[in-house]
A and B are shown apart, each in its own frame.
Chain A
Amino acid sequence: MDFSRRHFLIGSGAVSLPLLLSGCGFAPQQSTSTATGSKTLTFTTWGTDAELASFARAIASFEEANAGTKIELNSVPYGQMFTNIDAQLQAGNPPDIFRVPYYTFGSYAGRDQLLDLSPYLESGFSDRFTDAAWAAVQGNDKPFGVPHHTDTSVILYNKAILELAGITSVPTSLDSAWTWDELSEVAATLRAAQPAEAYPMAYNWQGNGVTRWLSLLFQADGRFLDTNLTDPAIDSAAGLAALEFSSSFFTKNFVPPNNTIKSATFASDTWYSQTSAMVWSGAFAIPDATNTLDFEWGATFAPRGKRGGGDFGGNALVATAGTANPELAAAFLDFVTGGTQMRDFCETASLLPTRKDLSESGIAFDVRPELAPIFLSQASTVRAKDSSQVASPDMSRIITVLQDNLESAFAGSTSTADTLKSIAEGIAQTTGNS
């Protein structure tokens, strides 16, 4: 048979179509229990090089410990992660396991998309995690995932700029962390010492990072949802204090005018360019800051309001409700939250553990290990009553409500009282209790 150009083109098209479709993330996922007894799980995640390398090591160890099993790791860019996951869930061919931020977790758990792990986990499984971490993966009091790691914001500072302003020491323990008033005094000192186009600080609440504003609410000992997670609780004295404090960052020129919620310029970029002397930041930024910055920098604790507090950042690992191998999926989730695997992941990727033992004994980041105790101490201020609110099934819509209203408040278009009222009404609408 002659092999013409037409045959070549037809053949190429036939071969490349499945590749193209899989490149879009739409190739059917496989979850198989073959006749030979081998079992395969698919695991979709995004990640930095360090995170993906640690996942690969954990998978290799799991496969070695469980002969005949195979975990197929599918890494995708973060920007495509959840549009793909949603499409796959809608099409009925999701991966067996995927990684999900705590603030998105509730959207899946509350809509019957995730596997209830209760029947597959041994009793006492939850004891390995901190209370705050375990509370963040609950839906109707059932675990729909495992808390794989966390992160929370502390303050990173440019040593030279602080010293030039006469600030030669920063708090070195959680108990001595600046109070809100002390932070304002430090910011005012920096404001006076810096030129107009430079600023004392930048806050990392851009985009979905709006949940980091909740750090201030928790520091004021406030809540945005009531204890049943059904009604708004933000229109309170604590809510007012947190909003007035954060709005003062703009009215007092403590942050640049473009440090708003919907800004395209992230707080870290503002700090990197030395436009701001300090920045709120999670531990995840340490490797990049270390590699990028040519100035000396350090870290200190987030301030205290009525109490210490922080946002519960980080990600859970979840199994999908329709997985063909629920036992194997649960076994893998159990394995990756083991002490060895979690230590490896957190130390190499500069993230914080959710296990009690690691939180208490401490870990050492591969990069800037001396900063790990600061982040671990700050994470210890997160309480279960704080993190459980973020697991609300309505969190995605609540995030939009927070974004719209805080943006408006920070621009000075809406008074703090009206903003709180509007946020409360928005939350009530999203939870169906308006």
Chain B
Amino acid sequence: MTKVAVEQDRVAGTVAPSLTLPRRPGRRNGKTVREALAGWLFLTPNMLLLCLFVLVPLVWTVVISFQETNGFGVGEYVGVANYERLLGDPLFWRSTANTLLFTIIVTPLSMVLGLGAAVLFNSILPARGVFRSILIIPMAISGVATALIGVLVFNENNGILDNLIRFIGLPSVNWQSGGFAAFVSVVLVTLWWRVGFNMLIYLAGLQSIGPELYEAAELDGAGFWVRFRNVTVPLLGPSSFFLLILNVIYSFQVFDIVFVMTGGGPQNATSVLVTYAYDTGFVTRDQGYAAAIGVVLLLVTFIFTAVRWRTSRSRDLVE
């Protein structure tokens, strides 16, 4: 039985009794206690930081979302008024729709392009190390710097792209003043930033697939696409699951690229939930309402992750 099958059985709750570990006879000896203690000691700094910088702010955000507060002094509890306000706020719905659209477009494209690049760079390609580095470089740059480069490229007055488009005699594209084009520019810069990371994870996944599987498939007469579909893709399941969750979370949380490149404009065409929450919390100082937007974002992300976790059959798949 392969590890894959064992893992699948475990997930399905049908682990055979013979596979359970035997209980240790007698009381725990000193070594076990010391090991457990060492384990907890290693975990403690991370747990403390996680509590301090993630859990405490998270709980506090939920508390604030039930208040009307400008950030100074004690807020006034208003029950679910902030959430009721969300229902009738057209900008909230516009931002939600933009966020979902952004996620739906960017997540599969990042993964497909990342997988394509990984397959290419995993093959015999001259100077593949150089190409890998070029694709990974954006990962080393901050989102803000990436977005600033995006502004230089997509500036519709004198940006590199429109200059090129004009040079070949085509009409320039209104990347900044047109809603659709602005959205496309944000998507393209995000892809440039994110494909390298997707490629890296897929590359690691590809290199853990044994060549004998491909050889066996080849002997059975499988061509490239059949091998790709029936060997590569299934065995990259854990990588795909990891990337899907991460890409969706990153997409829901997109902020820096939108904030720098478009500021949510033109006319809110690129406004997403996090930029809307930021503007509400730190520009108009309506922090209770901003917290409510944040909580909605958290819930959507949480629900997606939970559903995907429950429905994914290949998240723990290993060879």
Chain A residues within 8 Å of B, Cβ to Cβ = 82-83, 86, 89-90, 107, 111-113, 197, 207, 256-258, 260-265, 269-270, 273, 275, 396-397, 399-400, 404, 407-408, 411, 413
Judge whether B72 and A263 touch: CB under 8 Å: no
In the complex, A257 Cα to B260 Cα: how many Å?
18
Judge whether A262 and B174 touch: CB under 8 Å: no
Of the residues A400, A407, A413, contact of B265 by C-beta under 8 Å: A407
Question: Chain B 252-284 against A: per-residue CB contact (8 Å), 1 yes, 0 no?
Answer: 000000001111111110000000000100111
Question: Chain B 216-246 against A: per-residue CB contact (8 Å), 1 yes, 0 no?
Answer: 0000000000000000000000000000000
Which residue in chain B gives the minimum CB-CB distance to A89?
B72
A-chain residues with CB within 8 Å of residue B283 when the two chains form the complex: 396, 399-400
Question: Chain B 59-72 against A: per-residue CB contact (8 Å), 1 yes, 0 no?
Answer: 00000000000111
Known: A257-B174, A265-B176. Is A397-B266 also a contact (CB below 8 A)? no
Of the residues B262, B264, B267, contact of A411 by C-beta under 8 Å: B267
In the complex, A273 Cα to B159 Cα: how many Å?
10
Total B residues in contact with A, Cβ cutoff 8 Å: 30
Judge whether B263 and A207 touch: CB under 8 Å: yes
Which residue in chain A gives the minimum CB-CB distance to B179?
A411
In the complex, A413 Cα to B268 Cα: how many Å?
12
Judge whether B265 and A256 touch: CB under 8 Å: no
Is B316 in the interface zone, CB < 8 Å from A?
A: no
Of the residues A257, A264, A413, contact of B262 by C-beta under 8 Å: A264
A-chain residues with CB within 8 Å of residue B70 when the two chains form the complex: 107, 111
Judge whether B264 and A257 touch: CB under 8 Å: no
Known: A89-B72, A260-B266, A411-B267. Is A265-B284 also a contact (CB below 8 A)? no
In the complex, A411 Cα to B70 Cα: how many Å?
31
A-chain residues with CB within 8 Å of residue B39 when the two chains form the complex: none
User: 21 A-B contacts, Cβ less than 8 Å apart?
Assistant: A89-B71, A107-B70, A111-B72, A112-B72, A112-B73, A256-B157, A257-B174, A258-B176, A258-B266, A260-B177, A261-B265, A264-B262, A270-B157, A273-B158, A396-B284, A399-B283, A400-B283, A400-B284, A411-B177, A411-B266, A413-B267
Of the residues B158, B262, B267, B279, contact of A275 by C-beta under 8 Å: B158
Question: Chain B 273-303 against A: per-residue CB contact (8 Å), 1 yes, 0 no?
Answer: 0000001001111100000000000000000
In the complex, A423 Cα to B156 Cα: how many Å?
29
In the complex, A207 Cα to B284 Cα: how many Å?
13
Which residue in chain B gives the minimum CB-CB distance to A262?
B265
Judge whether A83 and B282 touch: CB under 8 Å: yes
Judge whether A258 and B267 touch: CB under 8 Å: no
For the A-B complex with A258-B176, A407-B265, A411-B177 known, give 15 more contacts whose Cβ atoms are closer than 8 Å.
A82-B282, A86-B285, A111-B70, A256-B157, A257-B176, A258-B155, A260-B177, A261-B265, A262-B263, A263-B176, A264-B261, A265-B157, A273-B158, A400-B284, A407-B266
Is B207 in the interface zone, CB < 8 Å from A?
A: no
B-chain residues with CB within 8 Å of residue A112 when the two chains form the complex: 72-73
B36: shortest Cβ distance to chain A, in Å? 20
Judge whether B263 and A400 touch: CB under 8 Å: no
Is B151 in the interface zone, CB < 8 Å from A?
A: yes
B-chain residues with CB within 8 Å of residue A83 when the two chains form the complex: 282
Nearest first, the 6 closest Cβ-Cβ pairs linking A and B are A262-B265, A257-B177, A258-B176, A275-B157, A262-B263, A258-B177
Known: A258-B177, A264-B176, A273-B157. Is A111-B262 also a contact (CB below 8 A)? no
B-chain residues with CB within 8 Å of residue A269 when the two chains form the complex: 155
Of the residues A89, A113, A399, A408, contact of B267 by C-beta under 8 Å: A408
B147: shortest Cβ distance to chain A, in Å? 8
Which residue in chain B gives the minimum CB-CB distance to A276?
B157
Which residue in chain B gives the minimum CB-CB distance to A400?
B284
Judge whether A400 and B279 touch: CB under 8 Å: yes
A-chain residues with CB within 8 Å of residue B279 when the two chains form the complex: 400
A-chain residues with CB within 8 Å of residue B72 when the two chains form the complex: 86, 89-90, 111-113
A-chain residues with CB within 8 Å of residue B282 when the two chains form the complex: 82-83, 86
Is B142 in the interface zone, CB < 8 Å from A?
A: no
Which residue in chain B gives the minimum CB-CB distance to A414?
B267
B172: shortest Cβ distance to chain A, in Å? 7
B122-179 contacts to A, CB under 8 A, are 151, 155-158, 166, 172, 174, 176-177
Judge whether A397 and B157 touch: CB under 8 Å: no
In the complex, A407 Cα to B262 Cα: how many Å?
13
B180: shortest Cβ distance to chain A, in Å? 13
In the complex, A89 Cα to B287 Cα: how many Å?
14
B280: shortest Cβ distance to chain A, in Å? 8
Judge whether A90 and B284 touch: CB under 8 Å: no
Judge whether A86 and B266 touch: CB under 8 Å: no
B-chain residues with CB within 8 Å of residue A257 when the two chains form the complex: 156, 174, 176-177
Known: A82-B282, A264-B262. Is A90-B176 also a contact (CB below 8 A)? no
Judge whether A86 and B157 touch: CB under 8 Å: no
Which residue in chain A gives the minimum CB-CB distance to B259?
A264
B-chain residues with CB within 8 Å of residue A111 when the two chains form the complex: 70, 72-73
A269: shortest Cβ distance to chain B, in Å? 8
B-chain residues with CB within 8 Å of residue A411 when the two chains form the complex: 177, 266-267
Judge whether B266 and A90 touch: CB under 8 Å: no
B32-75 contacts to A, CB under 8 A, are 70-73
In the complex, A273 Cα to B152 Cα: how many Å?
12
Known: A113-B72, A263-B265, A407-B265. Is A258-B285 also a contact (CB below 8 A)? no
Judge whether A407 and B267 touch: CB under 8 Å: yes
In the complex, A112 Cα to B71 Cα: how many Å?
12
A-chain residues with CB within 8 Å of residue B157 when the two chains form the complex: 197, 256, 258, 265, 270, 273, 275
In the complex, A397 Cα to B280 Cα: how many Å?
9
B13: shortest Cβ distance to chain A, in Å? 42
B-chain residues with CB within 8 Å of residue A396 when the two chains form the complex: 283-285
B164: shortest Cβ distance to chain A, in Å? 14
B86: shortest Cβ distance to chain A, in Å? 16
